[in-house]
A and B are shown apart, each in its own frame.
Chain A
């Protein structure tokens, strides 16, 4: 009983700590996410609380390249960090409607098109962009920006290149971790952005 209590208290303490930690990042601080719980201190680079991830289109391009003889280059990829919900209400609460959201954590999320693509009938030139969002209850405004190699908390909107509105919908599942992935559609792919109970889909044609 005593042991269980102690353990429980430890858990609560830890949750409280990490929660505080995450919140502080959302309050325009620039410190990297550095909560290490399961590993000893890493003198070179701490493990991030919100791990980074990468998605390609074609889906799993790098694995396909390993298992098949693919000679065509990938069409696009996104590199982003994955905050987790940790019991919080995300939309309209942690992320305020009408305010910029970095679509990730830590380093600004980056999308790269390896060829020209078309989004909502507008041509988007091949190249690398920062991608971020202004969420509303019914729609998300997705913005491509030229201010590369930056931290997600300070976005220079004078470098916005294009923006697109997509509907905000109830997600098909419940997302603990923020997730970005490409899914094929006719004549292209959708960039699926999902967190908590909400998702947005940006159609990309090529």
Chain B
């Protein structure tokens, strides 16, 4: 019995695996909200090594993925009417490999920081040119490149970890952003 308990604990410590001794060596532990990346066209790097690319890379987003962890997200943890970093840790970054159009505004090729101001029925999505920042703590409206307001959609099934992905649209692509029971979609025109 004792042995089983010991083995169980060993198994658990393998599972959680967070005990990176590196933490004691000034090296970074694994983040609680892991970083992730998405491209348009979706899965571009995988398509690339499979020789299945039909169009050049247009955009990619690098973001960190907080988890719901039983909390109420919108209107509570993420307050309505306040700038939200759309992620965790390093600010969320969107990069265009060519110029695109968002709202009625031309957005030049390059890196931008992505924010949102969530409301109950709509989100204002912001592209800002102050890059390599942390969260929205030093957000400066003067550096906005474009702001556009999009409606939100209620999801029937909850999303535990903040998720972003691109989908194809008639005019280009949409950046889908989903967390908890809310989904927003940012239209990006390639025309």
Interface residues of A (CB under 8 A from B): 1, 4-5, 7-8, 11-12, 14-15, 30, 32, 37, 39-40, 42-45, 47-48, 51-56, 61-63, 65-66, 73-74, 77, 79, 82, 84, 86-87, 107-108, 149-151, 153-154, 172-177, 179, 181, 192, 194
A73 CA to B133 CA, complexed, in Å: 11
Asked if A40 meets B90 with Cβ closer than 8 Å, knowing A45-B38, A65-B132, the reply is no
CB distance from A38 to the nearest CB of B (A): 9
Q: Which residues of B contact A151 (CB under 8 A)?
A: 45-46, 48-49
A201 CA to B44 CA, complexed, in Å: 31
Asked if A48 meets B36 with Cβ closer than 8 Å, knowing A65-B133, A86-B17, A181-B27, the reply is yes
Q: Which residues of A contact B7 (CB under 8 A)?
A: 8
Q: From A52, which residue of chain B is reached at the shortest CB distance?
A: B35
8 Å CB contacts to A: which residues of B150-191? 157-161, 163-165, 176, 178
Q: Which residues of B contact A43 (CB under 8 A)?
A: 157, 159, 163, 178
A171 CA to B23 CA, complexed, in Å: 13
8 Å CB contacts to A: which residues of B70-111? 90-91
Q: Which residues of A contact B1 (CB under 8 A)?
A: 1, 4
Q: Which residues of B contact A55 (CB under 8 A)?
A: 28
- The verdict on B125 contacting chain A, using a C-beta distance below 8 Å, is no
Q: Which residues of B contact A66 (CB under 8 A)?
A: 133-135, 137-138
Question: When the two chains form the complex, which single residue of A42, A51, A65, A174 contacts B35, counting CB atoms closer than 8 Å?
Answer: A51
Number of A-B contacts (CB under 8 A): 152
B38 lies within 8 A of A53 (CB):
no
A82 CA to B18 CA, complexed, in Å: 12
A7 lies within 8 A of B163 (CB):
no
Extra A-B contacts (13), CB below 8 Å, given A47-B161, A66-B133, A66-B138:
A15-B14, A42-B159, A43-B157, A51-B31, A51-B36, A54-B62, A61-B132, A65-B138, A153-B49, A175-B27, A177-B17, A179-B22, A179-B27
A51 lies within 8 A of B57 (CB):
no
A42 lies within 8 A of B132 (CB):
no
Q: Which residues of A contact B44 (CB under 8 A)?
A: 149
B160 lies within 8 A of A176 (CB):
no
Q: Which residues of A contact B65 (CB under 8 A)?
A: 47
Q: Which residues of A contact B90 (CB under 8 A)?
A: 54, 62
A183 CA to B76 CA, complexed, in Å: 39
8 Å CB contacts to A: which residues of B22-61? 22, 24-25, 27-31, 34-39, 43-46, 48-50, 57, 60
- The verdict on B21 contacting chain A, using a C-beta distance below 8 Å, is yes
A65 CA to B28 CA, complexed, in Å: 19
Q: Which residues of B contact A1 (CB under 8 A)?
A: 1, 4
Q: Which residues of A contact B128 (CB under 8 A)?
A: none
A39 lies within 8 A of B161 (CB):
yes
CB distance from B42 to the nearest CB of A (A): 10
Q: Which residues of A contact B12 (CB under 8 A)?
A: 11
Q: Which residues of A contact B21 (CB under 8 A)?
A: 173-176
Question: When the two chains form the complex, which single residue of B28, B57, B163 contacts A53, counting CB atoms closer than 8 Å?
Answer: B28
Q: Which of A4, A39, A54, A82 has the most chain B CB atoms closer than 10 A to its own CB? A: A54
B164 lies within 8 A of A45 (CB):
yes
A107 lies within 8 A of B132 (CB):
no
Q: Which residues of A contact B133 (CB under 8 A)?
A: 62, 65-66
A54 CA to B132 CA, complexed, in Å: 11
A52 lies within 8 A of B159 (CB):
no
Q: Which residues of B contact A14 (CB under 8 A)?
A: 15
A–B Cβ pairs within 8 angstroms, 7 of them: A8-B4, A11-B15, A62-B91, A65-B138, A66-B137, A82-B30, A149-B39
